[in-house]
A and B are shown apart, each in its own frame.
Chain A
C-alpha cells in the first residue's frame, strides 16, 4: 500500500532524480505563473467542470474501447483492447492536453500561444484550440516534418495558425522545440508555450500528464465495467511520452499490470539511426529537464531517426526515465518496418488505420505478445489515426509512386 499512493502521487518538479528546470532565468517567472495558475485551477471546481464539458461536447470523450480479436490473433493467444484516442476531435490524444492548457492560457490572460509539432497532430490540436478560444497561434515545425506531414500543415493553416518551418539542426521536432523556446524567451509576457508532450521544464511534465491522464482513468474504469478485469499489460508508443503516461498513470499502482512502452528503433537498435531514447540513451539535460537522451560523450544531442515524425525525438519525459529506473515500466524499440507492417495489419484485419506513431505499439504487441501466458489481455493506446500518414504509407507500400 505504501508504494500504491507513492507512484501516482509524484507531481514534480522531480521524478526521482529526473525533471527540474534547466532553462534560462528569463523563463522562470512564466513557469512559476503557469504552476500557480494550474494549482489554482485544480482547486477550482469550475475549471474541472469547464474541462469536462469541453471534453464531452467538443473532444468527444469518453473515447471508446474496441476489442480487436483478428489483430490479436497475429500476436498469439491473447486478447487486445484498443483505447480509441484516434476518435477524438482532430484525430489523436494530443487534443486532451491542448484544451487543458488553452484554458490555462486564458486564465493567465495570454493572447498568443506557440507550439512545437513533429507529426503535426499537436500543432493541429493547438491551432484548433486557438480557433475555438480566439487566440493567436504560431506553430514551429521542423522543415523535414513539414514535408512528411504536409497534410497537417495545410490543416493548421486552414485553422488560422502560422506555421514556421525550422531550418536549423536536424530540422525535426528537437529543433522545433528549440525555436519555440526562443520565441517564448522573447515574448513570455503575452505568450503561452503550449508544450505538446510530457517533456520540458517543470511544471510541463506534470501538467501535460494530468490532462492526458483522463485516457487511463476512463480506460481503467471501462475495463472494469465492460469486461470485469484489469488488463495484464498496458501499452503505448513513446515519443516524448504523453500518450503513454496518459494511459499508464491510472495503472501505476496496479502492481499486477505490466507497463510496456515502445520507442522508435528507426533503421534498427544497432544502427545510429533510431529514436530509442530510453533503451539506448544516457542521462542528461535537454529542453529544460534532466532525463534520458541521445547524446555523444560531449553532451551534444545526437539526431534521432524514425519514419514517424511524432517519435523522432532524442529526448523523453522525465517521468518515463523514473519509471524505467524503478523497473515499473519496460521500454523496447520497434523498427520502421515493424511499425509499418503493424499499421497495415491493423488496417486489414480490423478496418482501423492507425498513425505511424501508434503503429509502434501495435508492432510491439505482435512482437512480444507471444511471451505472455495464453489468455492474457493487453490494453493499447490507439493514440492517433493514420490519415496524416497516407503519403508516407502510400509510398512505403507502393500504393502511390
Chain B
C-alpha cells in the first residue's frame, strides 16, 4: 500500500487530523525553499505538497502565482528540482508529493520524471491540469514505480467521473472544496462535504483530502471531521512572505494544533 495512504489511515484510526501543506520549490530561492519545506515538516504538517513553478498556473490564485513567478525569476530550473527534493526527503520522513502542471513533466519526459521522482524519494504526483482521461502514460509509469497519483474531484464532477477518479487515484483523492482557484477563503463551501460524500459513496479505500481555500485552524478541524485531511497552501506562502520562516512555523503549528 502507498505510504501516504498508510499514514492517513493511521491518523484516522488515532482520531488525529491530517494537515497537508503546499510550498513552491525555488521560492524565493532553491535553498530557502528547502529550509521552508523542512521547517513545515518539522512543525507538524503530515504530508508536503511541493509545487513545481510554472509560467501559466491556471489553477492558482494570486498569492501562489506571485510566489512561483518569483521562483522562476530567481532562476529555478527543472534540472535543480530533484536535487532540491532529495535534500528535503533526506532530512524529514514526511511523504512529499509533487504538484506540477503537465507541460513541464511532458517536456522532461513522463517516464524520466517518474523515475527521477522515485529516486529522489518523492511519494508521487498531484496533477492539477491532467485528468485521468489524458493520463495513460502517467498511469502506466506510476503503476510501475508504485508512485502516488492524485487526481481531483470537484463539485461539478459527475458521479461517473468521481468513480473514475476514485479508481485511478492512489495516495489520496484531492477533493476541491469550492468552485475556484487556490487562495484563502473566509468560509468553506458546503460543496466540499458533497464532493467528499460523492467520492466516499464509491466505496473507495483511498483517503479523501479537501483543498482550495482553507486558511484557519477551525476549517482544518471541520474538514477533518468528514474527510481524511485538509490541504493548505496560500496561507503558508503568505506567512513566509510576510514573516519569514518563524511565521511559517507558527502558522503550521497553529493550523495543526486546531484540534
Contact surface of A with B, Cβ cutoff 8 Å: 20-26, 28-30, 32, 168-169, 174, 178, 181-182, 185-189, 282, 284-288, 295, 297-301
Contacts and interface: CB of A to CB of B under 8 A. Distances in A.
A297 B107 contact: yes
A299 B176 contact: no
Grouping DSSP codes into helix (H, G, I), strand (E, B) and loop, the A interface class, with mixed when no group exceeds half, is: mixed
A282 B108 CA distance: 13
B131 A21 contact: yes
Given A185-B58, A299-B106, A300-B104, 17 more contacts: A23-B58, A24-B154, A25-B152, A25-B154, A26-B152, A28-B161, A29-B156, A168-B62, A168-B65, A169-B55, A178-B56, A185-B180, A284-B106, A285-B103, A287-B56, A298-B108, A299-B78
A240 to B, nearest CB: 15
Contacts of B239: none
Interface in B89-109: 102-108
A209 B27 CA distance: 41
Interface string B31-70: 0000000000000000000000011111101100100010
Given A23-B129, A186-B181, A168 B106 contact: no
Contact of A295 (B79, B107, B134): B107
A-B complex: 3 closest residue pairs judged by Cβ atoms = A299-B107, A29-B156, A299-B104
B58 A285 contact: no
B55 A300 contact: yes
Contacts of A295: 103, 107
A187 B179 contact: yes
Contacts of B106: 284-285, 299
B134 A29 contact: no
Given A285-B103, A299-B106, A185 B54 contact: no
B103 A186 contact: no
Contacts of A298: 77-79, 104, 107-108
A301 B54 CA distance: 8
B10 interface: no
Contacts of A29: 154, 156-158, 161
A189 B154 contact: no
21 contacts: A20-B134, A22-B131, A23-B131, A24-B152, A25-B151, A25-B154, A28-B131, A28-B161, A29-B161, A169-B56, A178-B57, A182-B59, A185-B181, A186-B180, A188-B156, A284-B103, A284-B107, A286-B103, A295-B107, A299-B54, A299-B78
Interface in B177-209: 179-181
Contacts, number: 110
Contacts of B151: 25
Nearest to B81: A298
Nearest to A32: B158
A203 to B, nearest CB: 14
A185 B129 contact: no
Contact of B181 (A20, A25, A182): A182
A174 B59 CA distance: 15
Contacts of A282: 107
Nearest to B178: A186
Contacts of B179: 26, 185-189
Given A174-B56, A186-B179, A26 B78 contact: no
